[in-house]
Structure 1
Amino acid sequence: LRLRLFGIPVAAPYRLIDMAKDTVGLMDGLGLKSAHLVGASMGGMIAQEVAISFPQVVRSLTSIMSTTGNPKIPPPTREAGAILMAPPPRTKDEYIERFAKTWKVLRVGSFPEDEALDRSRALRTYERGLNPAGVGRQLRAILASGSRKQRLGAVKAPALVIHGTVDPLVHPAGGKDTAASIPGAKLLMIEGMGHALPIPMWPEIIDAIAEHAHGAAAKAA
């Protein structure tokens, strides 16, 4: 991250384009010629890359709490940035405690329904398996992939961009930049949403994605 801030190229064993190729490969394996792609955060960046590099497989694109890679977008807040740089927890109890604190920061505010599920979500994640080095490689992949801002101008798929107005990790300007970079993209800014998908906001988000996908399908018919 510091290298990127000083304009020094970041090396990475794989980049977002490799993950986009994996996505298309998975679709091929599932026998899907095309799909409505929805990606959040890093997933939004990968979905953008698929829409740029493999337009034939994308019926519609929904990019959530993501960004273009434009280095002019403001950085995470100090508190959110500290989450990215924190050393990995050493025990299960420490992981569960860190999980709750992390999502408290990312959700921004009080969401009792989600907070009540933090412990069970943390346990499932811990038991499934952790790979701290993999998380580091993902961050390097994002930084090494550079900006998609110019290339997003070639995206032909109908695009919807969803972003929270108080996102502490990916600045709201990242969502606005994404929508401004894709011709005809729709932008939905959700008041009070941070870098998370809190349960009370699910209906609005789900309805927006469903309407967008149905609209894209109707235009293609």
Structure 2
Amino acid sequence: MSSDYAPPDDPLDVIHADHEILIVNKPSGLLSVPGKGPHLADCLIARVQVAFPQALLIHRLDRDTSGVMVFALTRHAQRHIGLQFEKRMTKKTYVARVWGMLDPKKGTVDLPLIVDWENRPLQKVCHETGKSAQTDWRVLRNDARESRVRLMPKTGRSHQLRVHMLSLGHPILGDPFYAQGEAREYERLMLHSEELRLRHPDGGEGVKFRAKAPF
């Protein structure tokens, strides 16, 4: 990743901002946080902090995934929402385009995941040492070549959606790690965080934020 990092120069796409939280639509190809070395310094949190110096990280999206991310604007909000993520109280919905015709129309993948140490940062299914991971999926439309799916992760493991779709034999299109052949030959990873639901740290009211998939 370090040698070919060329993040997009899209302007910051703010979906919502108030006294506690900031919601941003992250572009594909931009790291959430800095990598190792000055060539990987450009990232979403750095760009956010130019406009919102007090912004604090709560969670991440993979470099190649786009979509809704929440940042805290106070320490209270960071603790409050961080705990919601930890206790799986947040609800995240993704849209993806995957290889081939996915059938049946809906289901759940329940496969434990762990880092593939010899091939980091890749992850793999491992029933002995993997951490519990579950993803609900539903087909929105499909044809013989590809399927458009909605993905609802119940857990938040690294590369979870990418590995779970691969385990079904339907890798996410454009995935530089897990797709092969024609499935890999797309301009970006076809995975987008479409909606995030959480409790607002000021009062606990349920709120939801959405960003339409650009593909």
State the TM-score, normalizing by the size of structure 2. Answer: 0.27
Which structure has the highest helix share of the two? 1
Which structure has the highest strand share of the two? 2
